[in-house]
Amino acid sequence: MALNGFLDFFQKGKTFRPNKRFTAGTIRYSLHKQAQASLNSGINLRQVVRLPEGENMNDWLAVHVVDFFNRINLIYGTVSEFCNETTCPTMSGGSKYEYLWVDGDVYKKPTALPAQKYIELLMDWIETQINNEAIFPVSTDVPFPKSFSSLSRKILTRLFRVFVHVYIHHFDRIVTIGAEAHVNACYKHFYYFVQEFELISAKELEPLQEMTSRICKDKDQ
């Protein structure tokens, strides 16, 4: 599934929040365009996610964190009106998995929240991180912080939880609007990327393990 098709489909509908964009002329803008071109060319996703020769891993990671943030925003935007305190009183993935929110600020201890509130806080938190140029520098003159890799892992792990909630609790809505193939394509791209660089623990990936084994195969484009 080409990236342009994904974006065109979801941008016709409701968006959860504005997209974070790359500044033209920067290295990460170039990498973003390179990644888009590879996706649109139909190359196997396992190949698409590999670090291009000669490129910096932190740049590659930053590009994908921002891209996945944008796309998962769009996906959640299609189901957010059906995700409220009544339908989703907890941030869960079925009866077995529940996610608690903690940010060390307002929520100093892990706290159970309605899924919509959890995801709202999550997206606000991620947006704050990626808009902080000390963390996601826009210039090669500014180095990435030493904590960048661990922070990116945390962001991607939390974004995965949105996939868990959408797939388990709102997939009927995704099917109804004809977005199943688009969401699956985004998920596969995300999964192959985090697997390539071992960014999310196997335990965190467990809630979608059965589905992942079914839709993520070497032949997938």
Q: Give the residue, 67 or 37, on which the prediction is more confident.
A: 67
The rounded distance, in Å, linking the Cα atoms of 131 and 158 is 18
165 in a labelled binding site: yes
Is the pLDDT reported for residue 10 higher than 60? no
Is the pLDDT reported for residue 17 higher than 90? no
Closest by CA position to 72, among listed 154, 160, 192, 150: 160
Local confidence band at 24 (pLDDT 50, 70, 90 cut-offs): low
Is the pLDDT reported for residue 41 higher than 80? no
Task: Please report which residue ranges of 80-169 form alpha helices under DSSP H.
Answer: 115-130, 148-169
Residue 48: other Cβ atoms inside 10 A: 20
Closest by CA position to 203, among listed 126, 97, 119, 125: 97
What's this model's pTM, rounded to 2 decimal places? 0.84
* Average pLDDT of the segment spanning 121-127: 95
pLDDT recorded at residue 196 = 96
pLDDT recorded at residue 19 = 56
Is the pLDDT reported for residue 21 higher than 90? no
Dump pLDDT digits (tens) for 173-208: 999 989 898 899 899 999 999 999 999 999 999 999
Length of the chain: 221
The answer to whether the CB of 182 falls within 8 A of the CB of 5 is yes
pLDDT recorded at residue 206 = 96
Is the pLDDT reported for residue 29 higher than 60? no
The answer to whether the CB of 116 falls within 8 A of the CB of 211 is no
Q: Give the residue, 141 or 165, on which the prediction is more confident.
A: 165
Is the pLDDT reported for residue 3 higher than 50? no
pLDDT recorded at residue 213 = 93
Average pLDDT, the chain: 85
Query: Residue type for 60, please?
Result: W
170 in a labelled binding site: yes
Closest by CA position to 91, among listed 62, 77, 112: 112
CATH superfamily of 3-215: MOB kinase activator (1.20.140.30)
Is the pLDDT reported for residue 46 higher than 80? yes
pLDDT recorded at residue 140 = 77
pLDDT recorded at residue 221 = 43
Local confidence band at 220 (pLDDT 50, 70, 90 cut-offs): very low
